């Protein structure tokens, strides 16, 4: 990209000197906002169509503009259009190229609009499209989780609190917890999409324009629900971008927590799961290594998404009304986040789909642990021992088992009776993994019947989300 040493700016009329070379570098957003080009062109065509409908442009002029903009888009798609710093931003670059191509008709395009309403419109359309894409990608991830959960209905593992073995769980139940997290993300991106549906175009620089523009017609053509209600807010509003980033922060925290768990679970210490070779890499020195790099990088990028949210929030919080040039940099936070999610989300969907769980190892870990101690305390409580006392008694027996390297079920009835006369032979049926799960009868819990109900609910919700995501892509 070359800087311009002539006075070749649309706004040069009022100036005696050209902008400083360093200021041009500071000022230009063309290095990144070229990504808005398809939206800018679409919005310009809708704007010009409306201008011709209200008699500001002739039908011929509109025809030239529409054709010219189509050609500019094609040139850009082929990479034939070289930008220079004097173009400043994508809006100017497109308009300049249009004027080069079609002459005077092109110079009329910027009637009744400003770059302020233009950029807000382009960005809202861009964010709307990204929300749609993330919603489809979320469906893929939810499908993978659902499929693995369905396959894991007989697999038992120890559940953890404080990363200490706590109580036995069904693998399905564990995976459905992630399903819930990503289901909420789906709702959040739906709401973020909803926040993009008010159209800024027609607000002009901030005060409205001196023409009978038909904003509703333009809004309809561009897929907005309606034009914004207040032209000042239209150009100053970036809530939709912040809503998008807030949804992205939640999602990337969830992706990161899943990744962190897979990193632990795929370690030799846990050995609960194997991540496909496709998402791992080797060490340049240690031939035996298989590192969970994809998970680690997804975890790292969640930090960047959170920083992007913080960045835009800080950028916006001190701005007076209406448009301020600071807002030009809103796009950096949005684009970086989009690029992260466009990889992390479909990658995680495929990685989950291809996970190989080690059911034998999980079961052994549940058996080795004292994950049934709560059930043992409940056994005494059911026999009239107050729960607090029962807890203490089982605690002492656990202590004894640790010292003697035994499990609760290995103790003899005589040893149990030393602690409480309430023990009888039925105790040995209680300290059993399957029996423990069967006793988890509460809604949402890990009991097999409750997990079956959760799976059914998940299937219904998945079908509904798939329907929504598909309808939004039309």
| Binding stretches for ligand ARG (CB under 6 A) | 29, 33, 89, 115-116, 119, 325, 327-328
Helices 239-265 and 171-194 cross at an angle (nearest 10°) of 160
Task: CB nearer to ligand ARG: give 127 or 142.
Answer: 127
What's the rounded Cα separation, in Å, for the pair 127 and 119?
12
Pairing of strands 226-227, 198-199: parallel
3-class SS at 318? Answer: coil
283 flagged as catalytic: yes
* Shortest distance, position 116 Cβ to ligand ARG, whole Å: 5
Host H or E run for residue 65: helix 59-77
Q: Where are the alpha helices (DSSP H) in 222-329?
A: 231-236, 239-265, 293-317
* Shortest distance, position 133 Cβ to ligand ARG, whole Å: 22
* Shortest distance, position 328 Cβ to ligand ARG, whole Å: 4
Give the phi and the psi of residue 292 in degrees, each rounded to 5: -85, 55
- DSSP type of residue 443: T
* Shortest distance, position 213 Cβ to ligand ARG, whole Å: 19
420 flagged as catalytic: no
* Shortest distance, position 333 Cβ to ligand ARG, whole Å: 13
Task: CB nearer to ligand ARG: give 307 or 332.
Answer: 332
Q: How many Cβ atoms sit within 10 Å of the Cβ of residue 448?
A: 16
Q: Six-digit token pair at 288?
A: 């035996």
Q: Which of 267, 276, 281, 283 is catalytic?
A: 283
Q: Which CA distances in Å does 142 have to 49, 296, 455, 458, 473?
A: 42, 21, 12, 9, 18
Task: CB nearer to ligand ARG: give 28 or 273.
Answer: 28
Q: Which of 162, 317, 318, 426 is catalytic?
A: 162
Task: CB nearer to ligand ARG: give 40 or 375.
Answer: 40
Task: CB nearer to ligand ARG: give 29 or 358.
Answer: 29
Task: CB nearer to ligand ARG: give 129 or 330.
Answer: 330
Q: Is the peptide bond before 172 cis (omega within 30 degrees of 0)?
A: no
* Shortest distance, position 175 Cβ to ligand ARG, whole Å: 43
Task: CB nearer to ligand ARG: give 120 or 218.
Answer: 120
Host H or E run for residue 128: helix 115-151
What's the rounded Cα separation, in Å, for the pair 174 and 454?
11
* Shortest distance, position 37 Cβ to ligand ARG, whole Å: 13
Q: Six-digit token pair at 222?
A: 């561009």
Tokens 């059993």 label which residue? Answer: 432
What's the rounded Cα separation, in Å, for the pair 188 and 192?
6
What's the rounded Cα separation, in Å, for the pair 131 and 133?
5
Where in the sequence numbering do the catalytic residues fall?
A: 162, 283
């Amino acid at each position: 990209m070359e800087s311009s040493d002539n006075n070749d700016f649309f706004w040069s009329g009022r100036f005696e000197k050209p902008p400083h070379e360093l200021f041009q570098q500071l000022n230009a957003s063309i290095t990144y906002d070229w990504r808005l080009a398809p939206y800018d062109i679409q919005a310009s065509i809708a704007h010009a169509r409306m201008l011709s409908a209200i008699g500001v442009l002739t039908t011929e002029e509109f025809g030239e503009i529409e054709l010219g903009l189509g050609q500019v888009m094609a040139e850009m798609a082929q990479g034939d259009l070289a930008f220079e710093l004097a173009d400043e931003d994508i809006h100017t670059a497109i308009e300049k190229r249009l004027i080069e191509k079609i002459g005077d008709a092109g110079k009329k395009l910027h009637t009744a609009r400003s770059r302020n309403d233009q950029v807000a419109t382009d960005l809202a359309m861009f964010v709307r499209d990204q929300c749609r894409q993330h919603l489809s990608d979320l469906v893929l991830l939810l499908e993978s989780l659902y499929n693995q959960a369905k396959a894991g209905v007989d697999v038992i593992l120890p559940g953890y609190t404080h990363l200490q073995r706590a109580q036995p769980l069904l693998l399905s139940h564990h995976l459905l917890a992630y399903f819930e997290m990503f289901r909420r993300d789906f709702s959040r991106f739906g709401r973020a999409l909803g926040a993009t549906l008010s159209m800024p175009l027609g607000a002009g620089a901030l005060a409205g324009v001196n023409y009978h523009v038909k904003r509703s017609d333009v809004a309809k053509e561009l897929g907005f629900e309606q034009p914004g209600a207040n032209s000042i807010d239209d150009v100053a509003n970036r809530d939709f971008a912040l809503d998008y980033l807030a949804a992205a922060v939640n999602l990337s925290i969830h992706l990161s927590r899943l990744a962190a768990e897979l990193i632990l679970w795929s370690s030799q210490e846990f050995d609960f799961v194997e991540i496909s070779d496709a998402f791992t890499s080797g060490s340049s020195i240690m031939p035996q290594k298989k590192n969970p790099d994809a998970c680690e990088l997804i975890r790292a990028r969640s930090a960047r998404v959170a920083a992007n949210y913080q960045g835009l929030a800080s950028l916006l919080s001190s701005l007076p009304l209406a448009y301020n040039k600071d807002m030009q940099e809103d796009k950096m936070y949005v684009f970086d986040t989009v690029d992260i999610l466009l990889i992390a989300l479909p990658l995680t969907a495929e990685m989950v789909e291809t996970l190989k769980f080690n059911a034998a190892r999980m079961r052994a870990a549940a058996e080795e642990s004292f994950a049934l101690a709560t059930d043992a305390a409940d056994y005494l409580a059911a026999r009239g021992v107050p729960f607090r006392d029962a807890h203490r008694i089982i605690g002492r027996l656990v202590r004894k088992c640790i010292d003697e390297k035994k499990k609760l079920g290995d103790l003899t009835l005589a040893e149990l009776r030393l602690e409480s006369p309430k023990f009888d032979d039925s105790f040995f049926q209680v300290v059993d993994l399957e029996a423990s799960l069967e006793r988890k009868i509460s809604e949402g819990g890990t009991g097999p019947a409750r997990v079956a109900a959760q799976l059914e609910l998940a299937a219904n919700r998945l079908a509904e989300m798939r329907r929504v995501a598909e309808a939004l892509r039309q």
